Amino acid sequence: TIPLLIDTDPGVDDALALLMAFDDPRHRVVGLTIAAGNVGLRHTVANALKLCEVAGRDVPVFAGCAGPLLHPAPDAGYVHGQDGFGDVGYEPARRRAEAEHAALAILRLSHEHAGRLRLVALGPLTNIALALKLDPTLPQRVARLVVMGGAVTGHGNITPSAEFNVYFDPEAAHIVFEAFAADGAPGIDLADWEATLAHGLRHDEVVAWLRADSPRARFYERISRKTREWSADRRGAYWHSADGLAMAYALHPDGAVETAARPVSVELEGRHARGATVVDWQRQSGRPDRFRILLRYDQARFEGLVRAALAAG
């Protein structure tokens, strides 16, 4: 089986992606490293532990950085609830996080699974950036990095030009993008916000899947209620799972119907565009095409993976 390390900030959306990964027969989740993002670290760690408990998985959970490398964090509690899991008041998990810091766990696991480790980043890239500062040789040991982040033609979801995960910690995204796009590194598979918008899930179908007779479906139905309502008000008939789509791309890359290889950089300054992902579509920069940008994924396959993840257990 393929070792999979997931850096995540759960988040209702992340929770769905984690359920998808827990079940995949070809992958083994070797750890969850936790970032601050959708909500503060205290909540994202507690949510990760709770989700593992509900799913019956004893995956080690490592707490990471409590905030961005440089700038204060934007607040996104209105999307996933103040606790990140829809404020349903769940009973906390019995298990605790490991003592090791997420950045150190990333480095250790990269040695233990050198050349085989797949890394999936579903939140701000702070932990991975810190790991890179501690040990710049990290990318040489990683077989593949999939990032949920960016808005490749500028349709941002947190500012007019930026997507949330990159905007939350642009310096971290810059560090990770540069390091993993360098020679000898595996490059980056990017599942961005625009791909997310192109792969909506019909609310009525999601509701039907959530009626599955499983503890996971019951838990997910509760924690996702608020964000599904918020999304229905804002975006209509479709619900969007950015992290779910990124996980589908990570677990089953052959489901990608269309990708584009280009250079990508992160805007760190900018009055209107801090945190924007600038794609060199016309190849003006002469930089190598080190990003594989997901444009279209097999929709039926994606839906099948989501439905199976909710029904399992």
- Closest distance between ligand BDR and the C-beta of residue 79, in Å? 5
Contacts of 312 (CB under 8 A, 6+ apart): 19, 22, 23, 214, 216
Cα 288 from Cα 175, distance rounded (Å): 17
Contacts of 106 (CB under 8 A, 6+ apart): 5, 7, 33, 119, 127, 128, 131, 138
Tell me the window of 9-17, 63-71, 207-215, 281-289 that interacts with ligand BDR (CB under 6 A): 9-17
**165/277 with CB nearer ligand BDR:** 165
CA distances from 6 to 13, 196, 243 (A): 14, 19, 11
Q: Which of residues 184-203 bind ligand BDR (CB under 6 A)?
A: 193
Phi (first) and psi of residue 237, to 5 degrees: -70, -15
Contact 277, 151 (CB under 8 A): yes
- Closest distance between ligand BDR and the C-beta of residue 200, in Å? 14
- Closest distance between ligand BDR and the C-beta of residue 259, in Å? 19
Residue 36 found at the interface with Ca ion (CB under 5 A): no
Q: Which of residues 203-232 bind ligand BDR (CB under 6 A)?
A: none
Options 23, 243, 267, 303; binder of ligand BDR; rule CB under 6 A: 243
Identify what 200 binds: Ca ion, ligand BDR, none; CB under 5 to 8 Å per kind.
Answer: none
Report the amino acid identity of residue 269.
Answer: E
Any bridge partners for residue 278, and if so which?
Answer: 265
Residue 38 found at the interface with ligand BDR (CB under 6 A): yes
- Closest distance between ligand BDR and the C-beta of residue 256, in Å? 19
Identify what 79 binds: Ca ion, ligand BDR, none; CB under 5 to 8 Å per kind.
Answer: ligand BDR
Tell me the window of 6-14, 54-62, 126-134, 212-220 that interacts with ligand BDR (CB under 6 A): 6-14
Catalytic site residue 27?
A: no
Contact 222, 257 (CB under 8 A): no
- Closest distance between Ca ion and the C-beta of residue 38, in Å? 6
Neighbours of 307 (CB within 10 A): 18
DSSP secondary structure string for all residues of 162-197: --HHHHH-HHHHHHHHHHHTSTTS--EEEE-HHHHH
**230/278 with CB nearer ligand BDR:** 230
- Closest distance between Ca ion and the C-beta of residue 182, in Å? 25
Site track 68-107 with ligand BDR (rule: CB under 6 A), x = hit: --------x--x----------------------------
Residue 23 found at the interface with ligand BDR (CB under 6 A): no
Residue 157 found at the interface with ligand BDR (CB under 6 A): yes
Contact 290, 236 (CB under 8 A): no
Q: Where are the alpha helices (DSSP H) in the chain?
A: 12-23, 41-55, 77-80, 102-112, 126-134, 138-141, 164-168, 170-180, 193-197, 203-209, 215-235, 242-251, 299-311
Residue 122 found at the interface with Ca ion (CB under 5 A): yes
Q: In 3-state terms, what secondary structure has residue 253?
A: helix
**14/24 with CB nearer ligand BDR:** 14
Tell me the window of 62-70, 156-164, 256-264, 298-306 that interacts with ligand BDR (CB under 6 A): 156-164
Report the amino acid identity of residue 81.
Answer: G
Which residues of the shown chain bind Ca ion in the complex (CB under 5 A)? 9, 11, 14, 122-123, 243
Q: Which residues are catalytic?
A: 240
